[in-house]
Structure 1
């Protein structure tokens, strides 16, 4: 005789599928962030900041870090500044350093980027036998901006940059 077996429900028989449902819901909540982050990533360039600052080069040269890292016998002159007699011009150089603007004011980031540019120009000029960089101009996006007091700096939301171009020279002492 055939007996039909009745299936008895165990009190925990539905906990396993319910657990899967809860896991699925948690995963879906996390996955919903993907489109939000994608939109934010593509929208960020549209909202990118590029603030132009014009700051005195003398402020950079007076920084304690500049006094440590730059040779005090080496000189820098912006275009339009009076220089000692130029004995010989030894070529040109460009420096375009970037620095992090994170947790820094725009002005502080600009000073650091400008100091990096001066260090780079000094190093290149010394290799050529120069004791000065003269006729320094800002050179952002290869566009010259001349000023005998200030340099141009561009501060973004994350990156700060200064581009300087100058002529390596031997000058009279």
Structure 2
């Protein structure tokens, strides 16, 4: 009898391990203003590269230097969705800033959310996907030189 129970338990465990996992992936629209105010984002991003979201008006563009995208994630365990989203957002912004500097750009324009390559443009919000273990923000943008 003991062998039968053990055999059933092993079989059940094997079946459970191959069944598809149901992971949480909550789409959230988050405030750009609040994200830029969190985690010392303003000072960490500095002022040498300017950022323009969606269709925000920009200074006169002098040169287009490229387009790129980034997808940044953070551990969401023990963090509120807002906290995790703001951390992932700052990571994505720092990556855009790093790429702008590599290209010699002084502005990042047309910044849009780009989760799973689906663009969402806004001047006031970004898209964040919060899960039980990870939270992610994906952005796409153009790198340009603008008139100072």
Q: Does TM, scored on the shorter chain, surpass 0.5? A: yes
Higher relative contact order, structure no. (Cα contacts within 8 Å, ≥ 6 residues apart) = 2
Match of 1:167 in 2: 142
Residue 97 of structure 1 aligns to a residue whose secondary structure is: strand
Q: Specify which of 59, 81, 84 is matched with residue 59 of structure 2.
A: 84
Q: Specify which of 33, 40, 56 is matched with residue 65 of structure 1.
A: 40
Give every structure 1 segment of 4 or more consecutive aligned residues whose post-TM-superposition deviation is greater than 2 Å: 29-44
Q: Which has the higher strand share?
A: 2
Residue 48 of structure 1 aligns to a residue whose secondary structure is: coil
**Cα RMSD, aligned residues only:** 2.5
Q: Specify which of 41, 53, 57 is matched with residue 28 of structure 2.
A: 53
Match of 1:145 in 2: 120
Residue 78 of structure 2 aligns to a residue whose secondary structure is: coil
Unaligned runs of 5+ in 1: 1-28
CA distance in 1, matches of 2:101, 2:39: 22
Q: 1:41 deviation in Å?
A: 4.4
Compute the TM-score of the two structures, normalised by the length of structure 1: 0.74
Q: 1:63 deviation in Å?
A: 2.2
Larger radius of gyration: 1
CA distance in 2, matches of 1:53, 1:95: 18
Q: How many residues are aligned here?
A: 148
Q: Specify which of 97, 101, 108 is matched with residue 76 of structure 2.
A: 101
- 1:130 and 2:105 aligned: yes
Deviations along 1:134-173, whole A, 9 cap, x unmatched? Answer: 0011111111111121111111110100100000011222
Unaligned runs of 5+ in 2: none
Moved more, 124-133 or 71-80: 71-80
